[in-house]
Amino acid sequence: MSKIRIGIAGYGNVGRGVEAAIKQNPDTELAAVFTRRAADSFSLNTPGAKVVNISMAKDYANDIDVMILCGGSATDLPEQGPEFASMFNIVDSFDTHAKIPEYFEKVNKAAAISKKTCIISVGWDPGLFSMIRMLSGAILPVGNDYTFWGRGVSQGHSDAIRRVAGVKNGIQYTIPIDKAVESVRNGSNPELTTRQKHLRECFVVAEEGANKAGIEADIKNMPNYFSDYETTVHFITGEELKKNHSKMPHGGFVFRSGKTGNDDSNNQIIEFSLKLDSNPEFTANVLVAFARAAVRMNREANTGAKTVFDVPLSYLSPVSNLELIKKLL
């Protein structure tokens, strides 16, 4: 059987992660990377794969089985999603939670005409965490959901730090509070405030001569981002930032704490967690598994916009159903 020909639209951290993930999946191959940058401004790690200006993507409709959109949710995907859905099966990681229903509709409209299969909002949250929330809520209808994020880098909060006067550079880690996680794990079904769930830890490189006490106060009092949290601020050098904080770790926990039995008397705890050295690489690996599913669903004429809730798990695997039953059931 011929390999699944994958296109990558956008060659940032996630796009490079997808390229690496394709090498781990022998039934897939990278056909081309589509980018706004000049084709000769960078090189791929995949011999034979093309770099193509993204405006020429339509010429590749017959050469790509599925396009993985690796652009950002703020400005890239709202345009690219519907546009590429009119030409390709697509998978993306659109993650602006509040706008997902609207985005789904737009992609679905385009895919209905093109008869393509487009799985949106794939990754780990939205993505795997959503799947676990849905699955565990269906199993334990009487119960509570808890999600904790971290320890990991929040891009939005890091950007907020860097906008503070006197800050040259900085990074923010979201950290789940052990005591809160433990109280959920033990089935005590706590009501947790924002402050009780997560800490925020900031590493800041100040400009020369800047007022550090002022910077620290400005960060800690910033509404929405920090004022509702226990926040710590550490001042470090630019070298330390580069040396100790250039990875992109992340992760988190999803819990369903439910009750069963005639008098709802028995506690049942479902826990799912991720501990990721590299957030973009892990997201990329999830995207490639769902790209396989998109192609298979399209071959079965199961078209339109889809989410992680619509995909039978076996479609994510290159292994035959009989082997899955024998080895993993």
Which residues, 23 to 52, sit near a second copy by CB under 8 A? 23-25, 45
Nearest residue (CB) to a second copy, 230 versus 271 = 271
119, 128, 177, 202: which one contacts a second copy (CB under 8 A)?
Answer: 128
Q: Does 301 bind a second copy (CB under 8 A)?
A: no
Tell me which of 73, 285, 298, 303 binds a second copy, using CB under 8 A: 285
Does the annotation flag 144 for ligand binding? no
Residue 96 binds a second copy (CB under 8 A): no
Nearest partner of 36 among 15, 8, 55, 12, judged by Cα: 55
Give me the amino acid identity at 48: G
55 within 8 A of 77, measured Cβ to Cβ: no
Q: Residue 291 interacts with a second copy (CB under 8 A)?
A: no
Stretch that binds a second copy, among 32-40, 67-75, 94-102, 155-163 (CB under 8 A): 94-102
Which stretch, 74-82, 164-172, 237-245, 254-262, contacts a second copy (CB under 8 A)? 254-262
18 interacts with a second copy by CB under 8 A: no
How far are the Cα atoms of 202, 220, 239, 252, 311 from residue 155, in angstroms, in the given order?
12, 17, 20, 16, 29
27 assigned to a ligand binding site: no
| Sole window of 20-28, 30-38, 83-91, 151-159 interacting with a second copy (rule: CB under 8 A) | 20-28
d(CA 285, CA 276): 12
* Sites for a second copy among residues 101-120 (CB under 8 A): 101, 104
Q: Please state, in angstroms and as integers, the Cα–Cα distance from residue 235 to each residue in 6, 111, 168, 171, 211, following that order.
A: 43, 50, 11, 11, 11
Cis peptide before 296 (omega within 30 of 0): no
199: left (phi over 0), alpha (psi -120 to 50) or beta: beta
The span of 79-87, 100-108, 169-177, 189-197 binding a second copy (CB under 8 A) equals 100-108
329 binds a second copy, rule: CB under 8 A: yes
| Residue 325 binds a second copy (CB under 8 A) | yes
* 97 near a second copy, judged by CB under 8 A: yes
How far is it, in rounded angstroms, from Cα 123 to Cα 39?
28
Stretch that binds a second copy, among 58-66, 190-198, 214-222, 255-263 (CB under 8 A): 255-263
Report whether 257 belongs to an annotated binding site.
Answer: no
Retrieve residue 249's tokens: 């770790």
Element (H or E) spanning 204, and its range? Answer: strand 198-206
DSSP 8-state symbol, 207: P
- Specify the residue, 210 or 316, whose C-beta has the smaller distance to a second copy: 316
Q: Which CB sits closer to a second copy, 24 or 55? A: 24
Report the length, in residues, of the chain: 329
What DSSP string runs through 245-290? S-S--EEEEEEEEEEETTTT-EEEEEEEEEEES-HHHHHHHHHHHH
Spatial distance between the Cα atoms of 251 and 234, rounded to a whole number of angstroms: 22
Q: Going residue by residue from 169 to 208, which x/- string records binding to a second copy, judged by CB under 8 A?
A: ----------------x-x---------------------
CB of 212 to a second copy, least distance (A): 34
Separation between Cα atoms, residue 21 and residue 283, nearest integer Å: 10
308 binds a second copy (CB under 8 A): yes
Q: In this chain, which stretch among 30-38, 127-135, 201-209, 223-231 interacts with a second copy, using CB under 8 A?
A: 127-135
Residue 141 lies near a second copy (rule: CB under 8 A): yes
Measured between alpha carbons, how far is 240 from 168 in angstroms, rounded to an integer? 13
- Considering the rule CB under 8 A, would residue 243 count as an interface residue with a second copy? no
The residue count for binding a second copy (CB under 8 A) is 74
Q: What's the one-letter identity of residue 142?
A: V
123 is in an annotated binding site: yes
